[in-house]
């Protein structure tokens, strides 16, 4: 039987505010346990929440970016459950009146087509703390630094039909929230976490199958694997005559396995009710209009601009425009280098490769965009060869030096572009290679190209690697073919 | 709407309350009496009326995004039953 996969996502996005959603505690990552957990975050008796305006601004910006209705009046509810990393015994969240209503996101798919994914709504809520289950004398350790960090939870309609579509959507969403500057996008630190609802149904059937939810996926790769694994599992169960149980599953990326966490049939009854500690939050039209005007450039617009302004290919433009930090880095490089295509190649090639292999975000790149721009300029104007430039890049990467021209001098990488000097070198080298010259002259066009390499080696050696290869090539062509 | 003994036990479990077996029936009756009052309220026609989110006719004041809290971990942990390495310790919980 042919099966169709149906996927819906719930995405938790940590908002990049300085302080928490209901208290003045810092949200900075990596502090000592519980040093950023105030009386409000600890739910000590007598404390009251005061909402952070910036969290609302960010949520509204997101809503505007996905062309959603903004609920001018939104209400907080209590979602009641017991877990030690939630000291109040309830999560303050939104249910009936979320800040962001229905919207949609356009996604470019790997096959070149595009697709609209509908957003059901997005609501504001607080993050929980963290439980550490290492052995503390048979007890669990609780760190409440993360408790109260503002989140928007974005809920999609079940509009995706494959893991590829789900990942393409997730990347687009990442691109939108980082471009808006409302989230740092650092998935390794949990800034974006995905819950994936998956079901399968026979192709042509309208009714959805029973779904399972795989929780807390924090990388695109894990998301893709977890979906593939779950789709295979569901099809196997059904084809073996079984039925799918609605349940929550956990995916272990290191082992590439998933297991059942709890069955939804015995799921919690959260007993939502309006939070009496918080009044309805109301925004006027002009507040929302003012935010609309502050809206930064979004990925789709930026991509179109990159194609128009820098004559980049669609592919290059979509990679360089995907996140705000990469886009800004590229534009600074291009501005200093005065050559967009060459700059694009360096940013997507040498730089991205190095960032990926060392797992560093471009925001923390040891090579400044200005320095890379200067380096690309020196490649462009012929001062150094591309192999010399790679050497300079390696030195810049060490982070101790950032003056490109100084590094070129100190490493003796300046190419000799003095035609007279180069010509003398060519004459000298050719004088010692009569056999090869004869062979070259006897060869056909195609073979000549290959034989040319045989002259370049000794020339580069004679110039101690500093001869301009392009000029060498021109001189050789002239002498051998003339 | 009426509340059965099983409903009482379920709600008690959700609220982490211990209810003695012999009190379950009495509690059920009490709650059903309250629900009967609610049913009277429900008889009112509320078509077209916006549900009330808060009894005060006011809107929420928001605060600026500034860090105003300082680290007071030592004071807070002085009243916790068990702490270690800056963590609050609780009975082991694993789902």
List domains and CATH numbers for chain A.
3-287 (no CATH), 297-410 (no CATH), 419-481 (1.10.10)
Give the nearest partner residue to A280 out of B53, B86, B90, using CB atoms.
B53
Q: Give the whole-angstrom CA distance, residue A76 versus residue A282.
A: 12
Mind telling me how many Å the CA of B75 is from chain A's nearest CA? 10
DSSP state of A26: B
Give the nearest partner residue to B63 out of A50, A138, A139, using CB atoms.
A50
More confident residue, A410 or A416: A410
Question: Does the pLDDT value for residue A248 go beyond 50?
Answer: yes
Say whether residue B88 is in contact with chain A using an 8 A CB cutoff.
yes
Q: How confident is the model at residue A413 (pLDDT cuts 50, 70, 90)?
A: confident
Instruction: Give the list of residues 6+ apart from residue A284 with CB closer than 8 angstroms, or none.
Output: A72
pLDDT at position A148: 97
pLDDT at position B11: 87
Helix (H, G, I), strand (E, B) or coil at B16: coil
DSSP state of A480: H
Q: Give the whole-angstrom CA distance, residue A217 versus residue A229.
A: 13
Query: How do the domains of chain B map onto residue ranges?
Result: 5-42
Instruction: Give the list of residues 6+ apart from residue A340 with CB closer than 8 angstroms, or none.
Output: A309, A310, A311, A312, A334
Which residues of chain B have a pLDDT value below 50? none
Whole-number mean pLDDT of chain A? 92
DSSP state of A68: P
More confident residue, A386 or A203: A203
Q: Give the whole-angstrom CA distance, residue A475 versus residue A170.
A: 53
| CB-CB under 8 Å, B16 with A141 | no
For A87, phi then psi, to 5°, come to: -65, -25
pLDDT at position A267: 55
Give the nearest partner residue to A261 out of B84, B89, B95, using CB atoms.
B95
| CB-CB under 8 Å, B91 with A24 | no
| CB-CB under 8 Å, A274 with B59 | no
Cα B35 to the center of its chain, rounded Å: 18
Q: Which two tokens stand for residue A244?
A: 């799918």
Question: Does the pLDDT value for residue A190 go beyond 50?
Answer: yes
pLDDT at position A402: 87
pLDDT at position A428: 85
Q: Which two tokens stand for residue A221?
A: 């790769």
Least confident stretch, A134-138, A145-149, A266-270: A266-270
A339-373 burial, b at 16+ Cβ within 10 Å, e below that, comes to bbebbbbbbbebbeebbeeeeeebeebebbbebbb
Q: Could you give the ipTM of this predicted complex?
A: 0.88
Say whether residue A271 is in contact with chain B using an 8 A CB cutoff.
yes
Q: How confident is the model at residue A265 (pLDDT cuts 50, 70, 90)?
A: very low
Best probe of the A interface among B14, B15, B69, by most A CBs < 10 A, is B69
Give the nearest partner residue to A25 out of B10, B62, B69, using CB atoms.
B69
Q: Give the whole-angstrom CA distance, residue A86 versus residue B64.
A: 25
Helix (H, G, I), strand (E, B) or coil at B6: helix
Question: Does the pLDDT value for residue A262 go beyond 80?
Answer: no
DSSP state of B21: G
Best probe of the B interface among A19, A20, A30, A34, by most B CBs < 10 A, is A34
| CB-CB under 8 Å, A34 with B86 | yes
| CB-CB under 8 Å, A274 with B54 | yes
Instruction: Give the list of residues 6+ apart from residue A311 with CB closer than 8 angstroms, or none.
Output: A340, A341
Least confident stretch, A132-136, A265-269, A327-331, A394-398: A265-269
Question: What is the pLDDT averaged over residues A25-37?
Answer: 96
For A381, phi then psi, to 5°, come to: -85, 5
Question: Does the pLDDT value for residue A429 go beyond 80?
Answer: yes
B91 HSE (CA, 13 A, CB side)? 2
Say whether residue B93 is in contact with chain A using an 8 A CB cutoff.
yes
Q: How confident is the model at residue A266 (pLDDT cuts 50, 70, 90)?
A: low
Helix (H, G, I), strand (E, B) or coil at A446: helix
Question: Does the pLDDT value for residue A328 go beyond 90?
Answer: yes
Q: How confident is the model at residue A146 (pLDDT cuts 50, 70, 90)?
A: very high
Write out pLDDT tens, residues A373-393.
Answer: 999 999 998 888 888 899 999
Q: Give the whole-angstrom CA distance, residue A64 versus residue B70.
A: 35
């Amino acid at each position: 039987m042919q099966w169709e996969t149906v996927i819906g996502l719930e995405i938790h996005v940590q908002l990049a505010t300085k302080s928490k959603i209901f208290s003045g505690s810092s949200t900075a990552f990596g502090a000592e346990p519980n040093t950023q957990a105030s009386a409000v975050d600890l739910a000590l008796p007598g404390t009251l929440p005061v909402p952070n305006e910036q969290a609302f601004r960010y949520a509204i910006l997101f809503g505007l970016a996905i062309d959603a209705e903004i609920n001018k009046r939104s209400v907080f509810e209590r979602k009641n459950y017991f877990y030690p990393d939630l000291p109040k015994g309830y999560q303050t969240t939104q249910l009936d009146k979320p800040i962001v209503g229905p919207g949609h996101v356009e996604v470019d798919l790997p096959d070149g087509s595009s697709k609209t994914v509908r957003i059901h709504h997005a609501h504001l809520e607080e993050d929980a703390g963290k439980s550490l289950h290492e052995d503390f004398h048979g007890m669990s350790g609780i760190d409440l630094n993360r408790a109260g960090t503002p989140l928007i939870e974005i809920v999609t309609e079940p509009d995706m039909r494959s893991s590829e579509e789900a990942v393409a959507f997730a990347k687009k969403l990442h691109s939108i929230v980082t471009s808006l500057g409302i989230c740092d996008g650092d998935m390794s630190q949990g800034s974006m976490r995905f819950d994936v609802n998956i079901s399968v149904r026979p192709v042509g059937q309208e009714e959805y199958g029973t779904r399972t939810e795989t929780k807390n996926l924090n990388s695109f790769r894990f998301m893709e694997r977890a979906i593939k694994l779950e789709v295979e599992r569901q099809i196997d169960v059904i084809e073996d005559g079984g039925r799918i149980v609605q349940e929550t599953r956990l995916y272990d990326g290191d082992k590439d396995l998933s297991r059942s966490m709890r069955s939804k049939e015995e799921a919690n009854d959260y007993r939502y009710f309006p939070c009496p500690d918080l009044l309805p939050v109301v925004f006027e039209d002009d507040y929302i209009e003012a935010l609309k005007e502050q809206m930064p450039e979004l990925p789709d617009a930026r991509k179109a601009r990159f194609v128009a302004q820098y004559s980049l290919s669609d592919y290059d433009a979509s990679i360089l425009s995907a996140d705000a930090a990469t886009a800004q880095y590229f534009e600074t490089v291009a501005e200093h280098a005065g050559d967009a295509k060459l700059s694009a190649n360096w940013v997507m090639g040498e730089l991205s490769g190095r960032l990926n292999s060392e797992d560093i975000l471009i925001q923390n790149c040891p090579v400044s965009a200005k320095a890379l721009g200067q380096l690309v300029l020196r490649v462009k104007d012929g001062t150094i060869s591309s192999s010399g430039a790679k050497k300079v890049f390696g030195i810049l990467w060490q982070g101790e030096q950032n003056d490109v021209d100084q590094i070129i001098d100190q490493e003796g990488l300046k190419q000799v572009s003095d035609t007279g000097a180069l010509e003398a070198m060519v004459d000298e080298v050719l004088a010692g290679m009569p056999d090869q010259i004869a062979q070259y002259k006897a060869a056909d066009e195609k073979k000549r190209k290959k034989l040319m390499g045989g002259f370049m080696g000794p020339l580069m050696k004679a110039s101690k690697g500093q001869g301009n290869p392009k000029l060498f090539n021109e001189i050789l062509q002239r002498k051998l073919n003339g | 709407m009426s509340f059965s003994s099983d409903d009482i036990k379920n709600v008690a479990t959700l609220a982490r309350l211990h209810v003695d077996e012999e009190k379950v029936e009495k509690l059920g009756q009490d709650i059903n009496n309250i629900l009967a009052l609610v049913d009277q309220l429900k008889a009112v026609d509320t078509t077209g009326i916006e549900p009330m989110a808060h009894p005060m006719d006011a809107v929420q004041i928001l605060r600026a995004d500034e860090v105003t809290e300082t680290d007071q971990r030592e004071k807070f942990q002085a009243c916790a039953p068990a702490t270690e390495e800056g963590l609050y310790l609780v009975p082991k919980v694993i789902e």
